[in-house]
Chain A
Amino acid sequence: MTLYVVTGLVVGSVYAIATLGLVLTYSSTRVFNFAHGAIAYFLAVVFYELTVEHGWDGRVAGAATILVVSPLLGLALWAVLFRRLADTPPPVRLVSTIGLWVALPALTRIVFEGDRYERPSMVFDPPHQYRLLGVGVDSNQVAVVVAAAVIAVAMTILLRATPFGLAVRATVDAPRMAAVVGVNTSLVSAGAWMVGTTLAGVAGVLLGSYRGFDEVQFTFLVLGSFAAVVIARMHSLVLAFAGSILLGLVQELSKSTRVTDFLGGFVDSQSVWVRGLPASIPFLVMLVFLLAYRGLGRERFVVAAPAADDDDAPPTRAPAAWRRILPVVCCLAAVAVAPAFLSGLWEGIVAKGLALGIVFLSYTVVTGEGGMISLCQVTFAGLAASVTADLATNHGMDVLVAVPLAALAAVPIGLVAALPSLRLGDLYLALATLAFAVLVQNTFFELDWVANDGVGIAVPRPEGFGDDLPFYYLLVALFTVTAVVVRNLKRSTTGLELAATRSSEPATATIGVSVERTKLFAFGASAFLAGAGGGLYAVYGGFADPDQYDVLIGVVWLAVVVTWGVRSIAGALLAGLAFAVFPQLVTEHLSSTWRELPTVLFGLGAIGLAREPRGVVHQVVHGHRDRRRRRVERRAARAAVAAP
């Protein structure tokens, strides 16, 4: 038991260091950095490379990583990304850092190839061993705890008792006023990001040397620190620290035999419910606090609206109907004639893209129309895929019946996942869906009948569509039907209600629209679409493999969809095709080093949203209109200057 207290304190201290960095950057810039863990991982790998591959002394490598590389990385990221985010709408802010979360680890794998099995130590090598209350404690563990405590104190002093802290608080409350009274707000936010990134570096280096450099494990450990950020309500340093330590303790203690034995009294102690518990604890805690805290929905981002006093401007006419459906009609036509030109392999790749396109239409509903960032669409897809496979293979149901049935089964799950959306604003909802997705992944996806020894349940092709070409056209038809339904929805009363809810919930409610019902409907419909697409994706692949529906893959999906345009149906289709086609192109034409290139590009695309929030499709179709308008405006401005 005491052993777990020691490891719990150490894990909690790492959480605390990561959490303090997140709290600092959020409370000084109002940008929640989903990429915090990715940054920590990148810096941990830099440390590993320096010490293991280049033979630097652990202490030198650690100091170089933390004191030189980290602040420089923070400065660079601030210059290219974070700086721009201050004036963007909240969903764009979220998605941009999610893009970084996608791109950075993939980039890390390209730059630093190979596996990392060694455990370089940063501080003491070899560590001194002590005995404390009957358990062995080594000096590196002590160093981690001490580092966390020192950082917590230093951060408190920095924010409470220094001119920098005062400038930070002023900048957060009123950036323009702070600038007016002489605060260099750029310097403040650059400084905050440098410190935040440095703390990510400390957490990364310590976590790496303590728990190893396995990327997936690392990522989920750092994701756990999001729970402490929630406990701290994004602001409180004290709660962030205490919450982190508590989280670490609870998480480690849940591994002790006393706890597993106790749980074994209720369920089989070898079952996923017990095995998945330690990894799930941060996410359980996060959900509990999200639901328990009152008034989180009111903690909204205030976005300065651009001055909208141009009554004299010519009315911006909506583009004609044919122009709006032109992109999707062109894409579908191209897809329909494509098999004539494609090899069997590529035909399959495009078919995969079509199935994914249906999944991605679910983002069009929930994020595009509903304005809610959901990180659990992949979970709906995975759940429905497993149910589809089970119904078809184990119960002999026709696949074309099983897919919609399984998608229907995803709807209540979607409604449960949507419950937090009734109370929570953008950021907290995104965190809640993330927690939900991780919890389902740690439990349901690990069930024996779902995982099926890591290959998933086999799914047959539907009767009469066994050959590739008929199946291809089946998918084209199903995508078209789904697209028509989504388009109907966008143009209908429900679509208006979603648009209204997105803009102003109080106004929507006071004209008699139930905001709750509207949001639940968006989530329910999107769960159905994600489920149907997920089922078809499994049918295409032949297996309902939970690994294909990993939370982190879902994050990439979101990045791809928003890159191509989360508001447009063509965007969903192109995103599906891109997700399927790019990796195959890279496999065929580039060496294996570049395997991760598509992921980097997907992430960069989402980061690029800070410039064009409406996505690539909008840029291509309407960009010329925007450019023409800007040209006219420039000319008018020049004329105004030239006139006496």
Chain B
Amino acid sequence: MILEARDVTVRYGGLVALDGVSLAVPDRSIVGLIGPNGAGKTTFFGVLSGLVRPRAGTVALAGADVTRRSPQARARLGLARTFQRLELFGELTVREHVLLAHRQGRGSPFTRFARDLVGLGARTDPEEDAAVTSVLELFGLAAAADRPAAALGLGTGRLVELARAVATRPRVLLLDEPSSGLDARETAQLAEVLRRLRDDRDVALVLVEHDVEMVLSLARRVTVLDFGQVIAEGTPDEIRADAAVQAAYLGTTT
């Protein structure tokens, strides 16, 4: 298991956002996480990536307990994510997003500060350029590379978030609604890119999606959340047939 969460519980005041949620992500696999609005999917991603402290439960990354580690520490251990509401660096260009992500975890921060101050920090070496360009090309962003993120549309912005996350060379990537705001063609392209990430770059993916069909077609296993609890877990076929899932989505009482 590259990523494993056990019995994660989060409370906001009296509200239970997550109640004993567990999730296991095997290496090089795609795992889906679905559920109606307000089910706690985004909060769960917050716990996995270290932005939300759980009341109880543990998160393990590549076998190491990271429950108390910071988001940046988890990132260095190979966890990356995107956001449902875009969190881009408005004034940086697309290339700079990727470059900054690519540079993380390389060299001691203090020698880097020193290099930055004397003016050596602005240069890029050929190897760095090649790595950045390959990520940009993977997402078809080469043409937009020198545009500031603030000037991008929603679809391009999602791709920049993905590119930024991939540039950190993650072993597991959390995707929060990557297809929202994309049209059908773009969604199909996205699905293809996700498969290539898994197959070519050996990245495990956790996919939170509104587009249930997309999840069911990509994922090996799917977990369904409702009101902060896991109501179903299984293969896409099992999920399709599950009565509780249908009830949660269609609102029929069983």
Contact = CB atoms under 8 A, between A and B. Distances in A.
A494 B113 contact: yes
A496 B104 contact: no
Contacts of B72: 509-510, 512-515
Interface of B: 49-51, 70-72, 74-76, 79-81, 83, 87-93, 96, 99-101, 103-105, 109, 112-113, 115-119, 121-122, 144, 146-148, 150-157, 161, 164-165, 167-168
A113 B162 CA distance: 63
Interface of A: 308-311, 313, 315-318, 484-485, 488-489, 491-497, 499-500, 502-504, 506-515, 517, 521
Contacts of B71: 506, 509-510
Contacts of B167: 511
A491 B122 contact: yes
Contacts of A502: 89, 91
A500 B115 CA distance: 19
22 contacts: A308-B151, A309-B153, A310-B151, A311-B152, A311-B153, A311-B156, A318-B93, A488-B116, A492-B115, A492-B119, A493-B103, A494-B112, A496-B99, A500-B89, A500-B92, A503-B88, A506-B83, A507-B83, A510-B165, A511-B75, A511-B101, A513-B100
Given A493-B116, A503-B90, A504-B87, 19 more contacts: A309-B154, A313-B151, A317-B146, A484-B119, A488-B122, A492-B115, A492-B121, A493-B100, A493-B112, A495-B116, A497-B100, A503-B88, A506-B51, A507-B89, A509-B72, A509-B75, A511-B101, A511-B165, A514-B72
A316 B146 CA distance: 9
* Central interface residue in B50, B72, B115, B154, by most chain A CB within 10 Å: B72
Contacts, number: 129
Contacts of B147: 315-316
Contacts of B161: 507
Nearest to A509: B71
Contacts of B70: 509, 514
B122 to A, nearest CB: 4
A316 B153 contact: no
Nearest to A484: B119
B92 A488 contact: no
B50 A509 contact: yes
A316 B80 CA distance: 30
B85 to A, nearest CB: 10
A204 B208 CA distance: 56
Name, among A489, A507, A511, the residue most crowded by chain B CB atoms within 10 Å (CB to CB). Answer: A511
Contacts of B113: 494, 521
Contact of B88 (A309, A497, A504, A513): A504
B152 A492 contact: no
Contacts of A485: 117-118
Given A315-B146, A316-B151, A500-B89, A512 B116 contact: no
A517 B81 contact: no
Contacts of A317: 146
Chain B CB within 10 Å, residue with most, of A502, A506, A510: A510
